[in-house]
Amino acid sequence: MTQTPNTAARRAMRTPGLLLGVVLTVAMIAAALAAPWIAPFDPNEQDVLAILAAPDATHLLGADAFGRDVLSRILWGARISLYVGFLSTLAGVVAGTTVGVVAGYYGGLVDRIVVAATDVLLSFPQLIMGLLLVAVLGASIGNLVLAIAVTAAPAFIRMARGSTLAMRERDFVDACRSLGYSDLRIMFFHILPNILDELVVMASLWLASAIRTESTLAFIGLSVPPPTATWGGIVRDGFDNLLDGPWLALFPSLAILVVMIGLNLIGDGLRDATDPKGAQ
């Protein structure tokens, strides 16, 4: 049974996991946006007296080997990590969905080429793929977004194509064609809204994955060059002094963890809320 967005939204409100996920994620985004005002220090300001300072009243989460305030770095780092995560997922979803819907709608040779290319791309592990691209293109925010988007796109191509194939069998697509609608109108005004549910669910899970990939790339030094703070980079810096100051790696890792939990809760919650079988 098809359902209106309203009933799905109402069901979503009753899912406590989804609500918690939204709270966690929104809180992290708000903190990232507000970093210039709420961060107690400049993230790159080095204070010789505070080198490897343990968490105290001045440096709430301690300071690193250069005397930089860890809390401020995490807040500023969130801006880069979340920005890269959101932008790359968005790019991957938009590009992947477009290609997938077009391939599924037209079928034929285009479809077979797209499927073959997708299979090749999917056979690379996401991290290896991102690593390869960043290594070739060079480390910058733009290339990072591109690399992660390329790793995300094939999954969305595959999903959008499959759903489009299923939708194309429905009579309303034939009805649209007999009414003289253009292919573009049918694909993006009729098929896309009907497959959007699944795409949004998957996008929220991929968002988590994109942020994790960025952190991993940063950890092995393939993200934005230092001293700019990103979560993965802060963890890596902290690793050098893991015994002298375990908080250096712990707190940025916790930040990553919180966002992962938040986004996964959102994804799972949305899936339950949009699943017709879950309807009461």
Partner 1 sequence: MSEAPLLLVQDLKKTFVAHRGWPIPKRTEVRALDGVSFEVGRGEVLGVVGESGCGKSTVARVALRLQPSDGGSVTFDGADVHMASRREMRAMRRRMQMIFQDPASSLDGRQRIIDALGEPLRVHGIARGAAVRPAVERLLDEVGLPRTALDRYPHEFSGGQRQRIGIARALSLSPDLIFADEPVSALDVSVQAQILMLLERLRRDRGLAFVFISHDLGVVRHFCDRVVVMYLGRVVESGPTAQVFAEPLHPYTRLLKESSPEPDPTRTITMNFQEGEPPSPVSPPTGCHFHPRCRLATERCRTERPALRDLSPGRTVSCHLA
Q: Under 8 Å CB-to-CB from 27, ≥6 apart: which residues?
A: none
Q: State the first-to-last Cα distance of the chain, in angstroms, to the nearest integer.
A: 12
Tokens of 183: 């292919």
Residue 182 CB, shortest distance to partner 1, in Å, is 8
% helix, strand, coil for the chain, step of 5: 75, 0, 25
* Residue in the block written with tokens 């959007």: 196
Whose Cβ is closer to partner 1: residue 7's or residue 228's? 7
Residue 246 binds partner 1, judged by CB under 8 A: no
Residue 280 binds partner 1, judged by CB under 8 A: no
Residue 107 CB, shortest distance to partner 1, in Å, is 12
Max Cα separation, the chain? 76
Q: Report which of 140, 119, 136 is spatially closest to residue 225, judged by C-alpha positions.
A: 140
Residue 67 CB, shortest distance to partner 1, in Å, is 56
Residue 172 binds partner 1, judged by CB under 8 A: yes
State the Cα–Cα distance between residues 33 and 82, nearest whole angstrom: 10
Interface residues for partner 1 in 183-212 (CB under 8 A)? 185, 190, 193-194
The one-character DSSP state at 53 is P
User: Which residue stretch of 67-75, 168-176, 244-252, 253-261 sits at the interface with partner 1 (rule: CB under 8 A)?
Assistant: 168-176
Q: Report which of 22, 23, 28 is spatially closest to residue 252, judged by C-alpha positions.
A: 28
**CB neighbourhood size of 114 (10 A):** 20
Residue 279 binds partner 1, judged by CB under 8 A: no
Whose Cβ is closer to partner 1: residue 196's or residue 250's? 196
Residue 2 binds partner 1, judged by CB under 8 A: yes
Residue 108 CB, shortest distance to partner 1, in Å, is 12
The one-character DSSP state at 69 is B
Whose Cβ is closer to partner 1: residue 7's or residue 44's? 7
Residue 180 CB, shortest distance to partner 1, in Å, is 4
Residue 168 binds partner 1, judged by CB under 8 A: no
Point out which residues pair with 36 in neighbouring strands: none
Residue 112 binds partner 1, judged by CB under 8 A: no
Residue 13 CB, shortest distance to partner 1, in Å, is 20
Whose Cβ is closer to partner 1: residue 2's or residue 136's? 2
Contact 78, 258 (CB under 8 A): no
For partner 1, which residue of 170, 220, 221, 239 counts as binding (CB under 8 A)?
170
Contact 153, 99 (CB under 8 A): yes
Interface residues for partner 1 in 25-64 (CB under 8 A)? none
Give me the residues that bind partner 1 (CB under 8 A), please: 1-5, 170-172, 174-181, 185, 190, 193-194
